[in-house]
Amino acid sequence: VISGRTAVLAILGDPIAHARAPGLVNAALAERGCDAVLVPMHVASDGLAAAVRGLRMVRNLKGAVVTMPHKTAVVTLLDEVTPEGRQVGACNVVRREPDGRLVGTIYDGDGFIAGLARAGHGVRGRRVFLAGAGGAAAAIAFALGKEGAAVLTIHNRTAARAEGLAARVRAVWPRGEVRTGGPDAREHDVVVNATSLGMKAGDAVPLDVGSLAPGTLAAEVVISDGPTPFLAAAAERGCAIHHGRPMLVEQIGLMLDFMGA
Ligand SMILES: NC(=O)c1ccc[n+]([C@@H]2O[C@H](COP(=O)([O-])OP(=O)(O)OC[C@H]3O[C@@H](n4cnc5c(N)ncnc54)[C@H](OP(=O)(O)O)[C@@H]3O)[C@@H](O)[C@H]2O)c1
């Protein structure tokens, strides 16, 4: 029951109606017995700065989840960003301190690793093929380095973006082998779709499906009710598959802890 004492959390996105975090977060808050509620806030890009300025003034606001397309833009609006957020260049959660200061971080990478771990899959010493070089891919790339993957091959439609991400990851992960490559995922233990392909029915697969060896682990970031085209193709090739939802589910607890909820 919402009362005058109830703390407020927000989620900022555009669009917001499809967001899955509100349901998950509010269920988690109830489970924790926390007197707080998360409210979806539909904020367009040209209103983000003003919205964030306004949130500083809301004294019963504990923080905000930040989703597409604001994860990168929000970084410049905050007072403090964790090393993870600075590396990736994006934040997906912001905490409001009692004095109105805003501190941001990103849990996409940790959430992805934790989701795999809960399903019994480790990445230490593994050869990982990562399709994509956007925000989710960057968060996962840095997390793979932190977790001690042996090889990271980044493949992206825009090759220059893959090169840029590889260079940034190499700089903080000197012992791993970080390279860029084409769509052939042969000789990798784990193959990840971290592009947005798969959000729409009939989307293509962002890598060469014929290169997926049986026994490879195919992991998805796109959240969908059934298997995405990538997971369906991988299953057909005899790969183990891992859906996109656990990456988000694992982040909920981390985000609530970060916001002090
Ligand atoms: N499960 C979770 O918890 C979770 C968390 C975060 C994000 N996600 C999901 O991850 C996906 C990516 O999000 P993001 O924030 O990383 O997006 P983003 O920063 O916009 O990056 C999009 C990526 O997809 C690629 N891409 C887009 N359209 C393509 C196409 N037609 N063909 C080939 N590649 C294409 C882009 O390649 P270019 O560089 O060439 O444009 C880029 O690598 C979204 O579906 C999002 O919902 C899930």
Q: What rounded mean pLDDT belongs to the chain?
A: 97
Q: Is the CB of 135 under 6 A from ligand 1?
A: yes
Q: What is the pLDDT of residue 175?
A: 84
**223 Cα nearest atom in ligand 1:** 1
Q: What percent of the chain has pLDDT over 70?
A: 100
At 194, the pLDDT band (50, 70, 90 cuts) reads very high
Predicted TM-score (pTM) of this structure: 0.95
Is 200 marked active-site? no
Q: Ligand 1: which residue has its CA nearest to atom 31? A: 197
At 260, the pLDDT band (50, 70, 90 cuts) reads very high
Q: Is the CB of 247 under 6 A from ligand 1?
A: yes
Q: Is the dihedral of CA 58, 63, 69, 75 positive or negative?
A: positive
Q: Report whether pLDDT(42) > 90.
A: yes
pLDDT tens readout for residues 196-217: 999 998 999 999 999 999 999 9
**136 Cα nearest atom in ligand 1:** 16
pLDDT tens readout for residues 83-140: 999 999 999 999 999 999 999 999 999 999 999 999 999 999 999 999 999 999 999 9
Most ligand 1 atoms within 8 A of CB, residue of 110, 180, 196, 199 to mutate = 196
